Amino acid sequence: MKDADLSCICEWRKLHKLTLGGLPGVTTGEFLQTLPEKCPALRHLSLANLGPTGQCTYSKNLLSALRRMPHLQDFRFEQTNFNVAWSFLEALYNCKGLQRLCVVARNGE
């Protein structure tokens, strides 16, 4: 699956929980941009090893989406070679309803 294939997720307005994992075709994560507005009921988001092996090529769109998800309660993120930078933590700060956070960044910093 590629980014364009995942754009249909944003049509599920009552989506409460989304788990995506092991999808090497995700390169920009453009579909993440519309999640906050199109899926306002989304409370649980789990993303694991999206994109080409060992790369996080979609971090810009992920951070932009997180900044606009104040009602997110549960976020799990697993990505090889991901560097947990200040911008990532800053984006999470806007998730005011966050109750659970799990970050697995193997070989990252």
Two structure tokens written together for 54: 């060992």
Query: What pLDDT was estimated at residue 14?
Result: 96
d(CA 5, CA 26): 9
Q: How far is CA 52 from CA 22, 55, 57, 71, in A?
A: 9, 6, 8, 29
Domain containing 58 equals 3-104
pLDDT digits (tens, 9 = 90+) for 52-81: 877 789 999 999 999 999 999 999 999 988
In a domain, 109, yes or no: no
Euclidean distance between CA atoms 39 and 16, whole angstroms? 8
- Quickly state the pLDDT bin for 47 (edges 50, 70, 90): very high
> Within 13 A of 83's CA, how many CA atoms are on the CB side?
6
Model confidence at 108, in pLDDT bands (50, 70, 90)? low
- What would the pLDDT profile of 88-107 be if each residue is shown by its tens digit? 999 999 999 999 999 998 77
Q: What is the pLDDT of residue 106?
A: 76
Task: Specify the pTM.
Answer: 0.93
pLDDT the model gives residue 96 = 97
Amino acid at 96: K
Answer whether residue 90 is part of any domain.
yes
**Residue ranges of the alpha helices (H) in the chain?**
3-6, 35-38, 59-66, 86-93
Whether the Cβ atoms of residue 42 and residue 11 lie closer than 8 Å to each other: no
Q: What is the mean pLDDT of residues 26-32?
A: 94
Domains in the chain, number: 1
